[in-house]
Amino acid sequence: MKIAFFDTKEYDRQAFEPYDGKDGLHFHFYETKLNEDTADLAKGADAVCVFVNDDLNAAVIDRLCALGIGLIALRCAGYNNVDLSAARNRIRIVRVPAYSPYAVAEHAMAMLLCSIRRIHKAYIRTKDFNFSLTGLTGFDLHGKTVGVIGTGKIGRVFIDLCKGFGMKILAYDKYPARIDGVSYTDLDRLFRESDILSLHCPLTAETVHLIGKNSIAKMKKGVVIINTSRGALIDSEDLLAGIKDRRIGAACLDVYEEESDLFFEDFSGHIVNDDILARLITMPNVIVTSHQAFLTREALSAIAAVTVKNLLSYAKKEALENEVCSPDRPQDA
């Protein structure tokens, strides 16, 4: 079985190469992302393996089907980049529903702590032997209210971390779970009462621009917003306006609405044409990481192991445990 890997980085190769050539699996790694212009690279393969910013629109699905590709193996949990209606009954799709919820939740907490304690600023100052504390005053997490939108595996781990800091926890989820110490509520109350807001929900038609002008107007002045899920959960222009209006106190973004042509690549020697992202990055109360939250050794190992299991199940014509069948109830993004 031949598998064409798209959007492959060195850390992907290191995780997957131990499986190459074993159990009949043969990998072909491509650095380019999968899109309409690159789909023909999959010619001769039985399956493609893709990541979050590969574009599997209807035209790409059509081309993959014409090439005889029978399986799309997502090495991630979310599948908002796949046109499910175009793929249904034509090509099978599997994913990695959980790899390390700890990796993503811990990154969210790391960004929060970095932001509110001004660690990123202190690091730059002390590099220049500037040991002044002026402008570095933060605030305690203890006793603050955190609003968690999405209480799947990642959201629940983040909640556990917040409990350790002695925070009051409000939560919203379309499918509430029973979690000790957590008060489920509606979005209006969550926006109104939260000092910190963390997004851990998938990107669906219902959640696109969940954070926008209307919801920001309901939030506490000075709220800290964290997004380690999907960029389009936040309307970037409205976020920028909220920061400029001083309603949003800080933003910690591991994802961005228009990240697909930017994140995972080095543009340090180029002029970036995305004015919204450029302006966000210049804000002193904004921290941006480039979709890094998943990137731990444990997560990469788990992603590779589950993806290989998915591929072998398909090759052996076994039931696909992690098949994406319906968008009706997606899990963690």
**With contact defined as beta carbons under 8 Å apart, do 71 and 25 qualify?**
no
Edge-to-edge strand list for the sheet holding 223-227:
182-184, 168-172, 145-149, 196-199, 223-227, 248-253, 286-288
Catalytic residue among 95, 107, 118, 259: 259
Phi-psi region of 122 (alpha: psi -120 to 50; beta: other; left: phi over 0): alpha
Cβ–Cβ under 8 Å, residues 45 and 3 = yes
Residue 117 falls in the annotated catalytic set? no
Active site residue 270: no
Catalytic residue among 92, 291, 318, 323: 291
Task: List C-alpha distances in Å: 90 to 6, 176, 264, 324.
Answer: 20, 34, 30, 13
Residue 120 annotated as catalytic: no
Looking at 117, 230, 297, 321, which residue is catalytic? 230
For residues 3 and 19, what is the distance between their CA atoms, to the nearest angstrom?
12
184 forms beta bridges with 171
Q: How far apart, in whole angstroms, are the C-alpha atoms of residue 97 and residue 291? A: 17
Active-site residues, by number, are 230, 259, 291
